[in-house]
């Protein structure tokens, strides 16, 4: 099982699109499943909007699905408007978060990760608004030009907010992580969103954390910028984080 997130595909970064094409041809076909944990695209204003990059990615994902790899697509904070029509074109199944799966007797929770950033209250309020079905239906009823204008403003505001924000606010809070581990009774959590790739031990005490004896882990997938990142889970439920140079393909 492979997992990726935060590619933020955009015409201004053809190197990332090329890296994804290489990954889908050379790495993903050897896995039974691929989970895309949000922010595949930098923006998504609706399945009906003309999108040559989206068309290209859909074809390449469909080719992978036709070769036997099951594709699962989760919304991120940038592409939460991806709908069933586009997922079908990709040969993918849309999945909700948190998605809990069992692999090798290990319970693994998959999510984008933004809900764990509980200190970023302004963003979480915005998230609640735009994830509302009534808001989405209203937005999708607007013209493509109006939606493009809204997305451009939102993207600019987001960049400014990130630049001005305290780094601590942009990361997950430990209490939210622990709460989800306890509520879902999971062994492993895998997410993206924060652009802080790492593997963390989740321990009940500092001694346990230092020894590494606790098997509970949180794996944070990286954003595709200088490197491409992906998670791998083997048939025994062992999870790891991998990276590669974007220019190697």
Residue 106, beta-bridge partner list: 103
Domain range 2-245, CATH class: alpha beta
In the structure encoding, which two tokens stand for residue 194, read together?
């924060």
What are the residue ranges in the chain where pLDDT is below 50?
A: 206, 208-209, 211-212
pLDDT confidence of residue 65: 98
pLDDT confidence of residue 158: 76
Backbone angles phi and psi of 190, in degrees to 5: -130, 130
In the structure encoding, which two tokens stand for residue 240, read together?
């790891």
Burial 63-91 (b: 16+ CB within 10 A, else e): ebbeeebebbbbbbbbbbbbeeebbebbb
Torsion-angle region of 231 (φ positive above 0: left; ψ -120 to 50: alpha; else: beta) = beta
Pairing type for strands 92-94 and 70-74 reads parallel
Predicted TM-score (pTM) of this structure: 0.93
pLDDT confidence of residue 212: 47
Question: Which residue from 239, 238, 182 is spatially nearest to 230, judged by alpha carbons?
Answer: 239
| Alpha carbons 149 and 142: distance in angstroms, whole number | 11
pLDDT confidence of residue 84: 97
Strand ranges (E), the chain: 2-4, 33-37, 70-74, 92-94, 99-103, 106-110, 188-191, 198-201, 217-220, 227-233, 239-245
Contacts of 47 (CB under 8 A, 6+ apart): 81, 82, 83, 85, 86
Per-domain boundaries in the chain: 2-245
pLDDT digits (tens, 9 = 90+) for 109-125: 999 999 999 999 989 99
Question: Which residue from 102, 124, 105 is spatially nearest to 113, judged by alpha carbons?
Answer: 124
CA angle 194, 199, 200 (to 5 degrees): 95
Task: Please give the C-alpha separations between residue 223 and each of 7, 42, 78, 137, 247, in angstroms, as whole numbers.
Answer: 6, 11, 13, 29, 15
pLDDT confidence of residue 154: 84
| Alpha carbons 61 and 222: distance in angstroms, whole number | 20
């Amino acid at each position: 099982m492979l997992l990726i997130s935060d590619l933020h595909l955009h015409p201004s970064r053809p190197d990332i699109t090329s890296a994804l094409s290489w990954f889908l041809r050379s790495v993903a076909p050897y896995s039974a499943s691929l989970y895309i944990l949000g922010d595949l695209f930098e923006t998504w204003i609706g399945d009906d909007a003309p999108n040559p990059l989206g068309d290209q990615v859909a074809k390449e994902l469909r080719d992978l699905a036709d070769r036997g790899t099951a594709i699962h697509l989760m919304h991120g904070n940038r592409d939460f408007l991806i709908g069933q029509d586009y997922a079908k074109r990709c040969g993918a199944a849309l999945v909700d978060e948190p998605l809990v799966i069992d692999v090798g007797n290990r319970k693994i929770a998959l999510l984008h990760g933004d809900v764990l950033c509980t200190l970023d209250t302004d963003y979480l309020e915005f998230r609640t608004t735009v994830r509302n079905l009534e808001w989405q239906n209203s937005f999708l009823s607007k013209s493509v030009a109006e939606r493009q204008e809204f997305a451009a403003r939102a993207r600019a505001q987001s960049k400014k907010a990130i630049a001005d924000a305290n780094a601590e606010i942009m990361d997950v809070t430990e209490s939210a992580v622990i709460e989800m581990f306890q509520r879902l009774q999971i062994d492993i959590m895998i997410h993206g969103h924060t652009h802080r790739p790492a593997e963390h031990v989740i321990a009940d005490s500092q001694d346990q954390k230092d020894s590494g004896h606790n098997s509970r882990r949180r794996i944070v997938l990286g954003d595709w910028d200088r490197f491409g990142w992906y998670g791998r889970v083997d048939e025994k439920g062992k999870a790891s984080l991998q990276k590669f140079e974007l220019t190697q393909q």
